[in-house]
Structure 1
Amino acid sequence: MDVSADALASFAVFATHLNFTHAAAELHISQPALHVKVRKLAQTLGRPLYYREGRRLALTPDGEAVARFARTHDDRLTQFLAEFTGTAPQRPVVLAAGQGAYLYLLGDTIRAALAEEPTRLRLINCNHREMLYAVRTGQAHLGVGVLDVLPDDLTTTELATFPQVLLMPEDHHLAQHESVTLPDLTGERLVVPPQHRPHRVLLERALRSADAEWTVAVEAEGWPLITHFVTLGVGLAIVNGCVPAPPGLIARPVTDLPSVTYQVVHQPSALADPRVATLLDRLPHGAQN
């Protein structure tokens, strides 16, 4: 097979954007030219590399493998040239995670990595599905998130486990208890994520099973805004136990909800890169709250 480095590099950019217009602009080529590169690469490999999903484009499993190889090839070439010329490698380690992980778990790790070498680390802020995609396609070396199902094609390590807690004002009648149950929330107004978000879906399912009648106080995206609404007295909220209770609020574990575990995810071969291994060692493995 005659697979050019240029075709692989172009496909890696396309895999990042999953949009021909945006990828072509980054590559400084025309959109039809990029179409040709991707089509010829797929023809050379004899496999479809992407498909259309409604209005979106998505990579096939073979496309994910090609994108991962393309980025690994680029990293190895950069590393080789740095060693050959005696210069420091310019490629950073890429970490993908969501808002909660960045706010409450990864701060010390990021601060230490940047203090040692500011260009050593690049961050991607994304949800857990986007995190898995970034790791699978080689866009990120490490990913951190809460996973419903552990992927069988990636290596996962438990970082931290927290109970789910009810966040409420200190003078609320449930604050007198050491812990609460879902039936205790009957009649309460709750601050919840928007519909179809994973936490909202799981919460509604659990409350329904517990026969707890509740109402939506307001929908909010992200733990900081959810917490802020609780401080304003809008309603109560169930959050991950890593979320600190601001002054005036108190957190009580919800005993009939499962704990939440943050996992770090990477390709099985990722730790061959000592920079990635060093960053992984700095993460707070096995922390409990």
Structure 2
Amino acid sequence: MTVSADALASFAVFADHLNFTRAAADLHISQPALHVKVRKLADELGRPLYHRDGRRLVLTADGEAVARFARSHDERLAQFLSEFAGATSTRPVVLAAGQGAYLYLLGDTIRAMLAEEPTRLRLINCDHRQMITAVRSGQAHLGVSVLDALPDDLTVTELATFPQVLLAPAGHRLARRRRLTLRDLDGSALVVPPQQRPQRVLLERSLRAAGAGWTVAVEAEGWPLICHFAALGVGLAIVNGCVPAPPGLVAKPITDLPSVTYHVVHQPSAVHDPRVAALLQRLHGAAR
């Protein structure tokens, strides 16, 4: 079996985009030429490296492993060349996380790192499934998210845990209660995420189990828009406890909803990289 360094480097770029047109443009080669490189690499390895899921291209588990090795090979080569030239490597640590984590959990750490060295950190904004893929394929060194299932092939540690809280107008009857249960929400109109989102699934299941009837006031994507609709009086909202209550709203814990935990995810070997270990230490320090 022979695999060229050029084929690995090209596949790493393709894995970043999962789009032949954009990857070929980044590599300054034609799209057919990139197709040939990727197909030849798959043939040499004897495994399919990606497949089509509807209109999207998705890496297979083998494709993720090849992409991870290709990026690791590229990093080691860049590190060697920097040391050989007597220079300091400037390759950044890559962090993948979702909107909520960036807005309410990671801001201080990111601000501090960028103030020390602007090129030290690169960020990817994605949902929790894309984050897992980014870490598995080596596109990101670390990922932060709330997870509905913990991956058994990656190292996962708890970062911070928050209760789930109800956001209600200060004058609302529920705002005068110290603590709430799901049953107290019977008959309420709620601002909720779109269907199939993890929090929406959890809410529907929990409210049904509690025997609380409710209606959808409006569906909204992301905590800022959910909070905005609640502040407008469109409906009540249930959010993670790290989300600050907008002016005019109060936050009340819901005792029979499970707490929400943000996790840090990385490859088991990632902590051997001092840059990644330093960022991991900062994240846990800030969370404490």
Q: TM-score range by the shorter chain?
A: over 0.9
Q: State the alpha-carbon separation in 1 of the partners of residues 213 and 287 from structure 2.
A: 34
Q: State the alpha-carbon separation in 2 of the partners of residues 230 and 89 from structure 1.
A: 47
What amino acid is the match of 2:236?
L
Alignment of 1:28-107 (within 5 A): 28-107=28-107
Matched residue, 1:232: 232
| Contact 2:164/2:254, CA 8 A, preserved across alignment | yes
| Contact 1:105/1:284, CA 8 A, preserved across alignment | no
How big is the shift at 1:80?
0.9
Q: State the alpha-carbon separation in 2 of the partners of residues 190 and 71 from structure 1.
A: 44
Q: CA distance change for structure 1 residues 17 and 88 in 2, over 3 Å: closer, same or farther?
A: same
Q: State the alpha-carbon separation in 1 of the partners of residues 107 and 34 from structure 2.
A: 39
Matched residue, 1:191: 191
In structure 2, runs of 5+ residues without a counterpart are none
Q: State the alpha-carbon separation in 1 of the partners of residues 287 and 106 from structure 2.
A: 12
Q: State the alpha-carbon separation in 1 of the partners of residues 100 and 236 from structure 2.
A: 19
Matched residue, 1:172: 172
What amino acid is the match of 2:15?
A
Q: State the alpha-carbon separation in 2 of the partners of residues 98 and 33 from structure 1.
A: 34
Q: Name the SS of the counterpart of 1:271 in structure 2.
A: helix
Alignment of 1:181-220 (within 5 A): 181-220=181-220
Q: State the alpha-carbon separation in 2 of the partners of residues 201 and 258 from structure 1.
A: 13
Q: State the alpha-carbon separation in 2 of the partners of residues 115 and 286 from structure 1.
A: 16
Q: C-alpha deviations, 1:74-94, integer Å up to 9, x for none?
A: 011111111111122131100
Q: Name the SS of the counterpart of 1:156 in structure 2.
A: strand
How big is the shift at 1:253?
0.8
Q: Name the SS of the counterpart of 1:179 in structure 2.
A: coil
Q: State the alpha-carbon separation in 2 of the partners of residues 112 and 55 from structure 1.
A: 39
Q: State the alpha-carbon separation in 1 of the partners of residues 59 and 222 from structure 2.
A: 28
Q: State the alpha-carbon separation in 1 of the partners of residues 42 and 284 from structure 2.
A: 41
Q: CA distance change for structure 1 residues 285 and 199 in 2, over 3 Å: closer, same or farther?
A: farther
Q: Give the ranges of 4+ consecutive aligned residues of structure 1 lying more than 6 Å apart after TM superposition.
A: none
Matched residue, 1:267: 267
How big is the shift at 1:257?
0.8
Percent sequence identity over matched residues?
78
Q: State the alpha-carbon separation in 2 of the partners of residues 273 and 162 from structure 1.
A: 30
Q: C-alpha deviations, 1:231-285, integer Å up to 9, x for none?
A: 1111100000000112211111111110000000000011111011101100035
Cα RMSD (Å): 1.2
Q: State the alpha-carbon separation in 1 of the partners of residues 241 and 159 from structure 2.
A: 14
Q: State the alpha-carbon separation in 2 of the partners of residues 51 and 121 from structure 1.
A: 31
Matched residue, 1:257: 257
| Contact 2:109/2:286, CA 8 A, preserved across alignment | no
How big is the shift at 1:215?
1.0
What amino acid is the match of 1:268?
P
What amino acid is the match of 2:27?
L
What amino acid is the match of 2:275?
R
Q: State the alpha-carbon separation in 2 of the partners of residues 171 and 285 from structure 1.
A: 38
Q: Name the SS of the counterpart of 1:221 in structure 2.
A: coil
| Contact 2:167/2:238, CA 8 A, preserved across alignment | yes
How big is the shift at 1:286?
9.2
What amino acid is the match of 1:165?
V
Matched residue, 1:116: 116
Matched residue, 2:245: 245
What amino acid is the match of 1:229?
F
| Contact 1:169/1:250, CA 8 A, preserved across alignment | yes
What amino acid is the match of 1:33?
A
| Contact 1:158/1:285, CA 8 A, preserved across alignment | no
> Please, what TM-score do these two structures have when normalized by structure 2?
0.97
